[in-house]
Amino acid sequence: MTPAIQVDRVSKSFGGVTALDRVSLEVEQGEFFGLLGPNGAGKTTLISIIAGLTRASGGTARVMGHDVVKDYRAARRALGVVPQELVFDPFFTVREALRIQSGYYGIRDNEAWIEEVIEHLDLTSKADTNMRALSGGMKRRVLVGQALVHKPPVIVLDEPTAGVDVELRQALWRFIRRLNRDGHTIVLTTHYLEEAEALCGRIAMLKQGAIVALDTTRNLLDRHSGCYVVLRIEPDRLPDSLAAHVTERLEGGAYRLALKNYDEVESLMATLRAAGVKVQEMEVMQPDLEEVFVQIMNKN
C-alpha cells in the first residue's frame, strides 16, 4: 500500500541554519501518527515542506504517492493542514469561509458536509458570524473545518489545541478519532504529550532537525522501562544507600525515587525497614510519555 506520507532524506537550511537534516520517515495510510519535539526542532518546517509551502533544500516528500513538487496539485488535494497560526479572512462568515475553501478545490454541492463539520466543531451558533468577531478558540475551530472541508485522506494538525478550552479539546478529539476510524490518516504535533500518548499509535521525535526516536508509542514507553516511587517517611531522612535514586524533593516533603524496575520496590522497602524508617505514604508510578520524551531529548 502506498504510504500516506513519505519523506526521504529531506533537508532544509535557512541561511547558515539547518532546520532539517536528511529526515526520512513514512506514515502509513490510516495511522494516527505523532510528530513531537521541542520548539525549534523542525516540526513546522517539515509540515510546511509536506504541504508545499516551503521548498526543501534536498530530498523528496510525497503525499499519497504524489510528489509535493512535481505533482503538487494532487498532493495538496490529498492533504488538509491545520496551522499553528490563526490565519483567517475578516470579510466572511464562518459558513462562507468554509464554502470558499471548498471552492478552492473545485468541490460543488458540498453543503451537507459543511454543515456536518460545523455541527461537530460546535460552530452552529456562530455559522453566520463574521470571522473577525470570533474568539481565538472559535477561529481555531474554523481552521480545523477548513482543513477538513475537501475530505482529504491525510490530515495534519499542527498544535490544534493550543490556547483552546477543555470542552473544545474533547469535542475536537472525538471528531478526529471518528475521522481516523473512517480511514483518514492523522499526523499530530502537540506539546500536550498526554494527548499524543492517548491518541497516537506511532511517534517520531525530532531534535535540532533530526529524528532521534521513531517507534510505536507502546515500544517507546516499554523501552524506557522503570518506575518511580513517591515516598513520605518518618523520620524524614532517607538511608544514604537510597540517596542516589532521588530525582526530586516534592512539595510537602515527599521523595521521588527512580527505580530500574518493579522488582526494586521490595528491595527499597527492605532497606527502609532495616534503617528503622516508617513509610507513611507510598505511590508507585510508571513513566509516561512526557518522562520518556525528556529522557530521549537529554540523551541526544
**Which segments in the chain show pLDDT lower than 50?**
none
235 cis-preceded (ω within 30 degrees of 0): yes
By C-alpha distance, which of 300, 247, 227 is closest to 37? 300
Give the pLDDT score at 13: 93
What pLDDT is recorded for position 300? 66
Q: How far apart, in whole angstroms, are the C-alpha atoms of residue 174 and residue 206?
A: 27
Domains of the chain: 5-221 (3.40.50.300), 226-287 (3.30.70)
Give the DSSP letter string of 136-186: HHHHHHHHHHHHHTT--SEEEEESTTTT--HHHHHHHHHHHHHHHHTT-EE
CA distance to 33, 43, 241, 264, per residue, from 260 (Å): 29, 32, 15, 7
pLDDT at 225: 64
Answer yes or no: are the C-beta atoms of 150 and 101 closer than 8 Å. yes
Calpha distance 246→251 (Å, rounded): 14
Of 100, 188, 189, residue with least CA distance to 149: 100
**CA terminus-to-terminus distance, the chain:** 33
pLDDT digits (tens, 9 = 90+) for 89-129: 888 999 999 999 999 888 888 999 999 999 888 889 999 99
Grid cell 512526557 — which residue? 290
For position 175, what pLDDT does the model report? Answer: 84
In whole angstroms, what is the distance from residue 29 CA to residue 274 CA?
A: 56
Is pTM beyond 0.95? Reply is no
The per-residue pLDDT for 46 is 95
Q: For residue 55, what pLDDT is reported?
A: 94
Is the distance from CB of 209 to CB of 20 less than 8 angstroms? yes
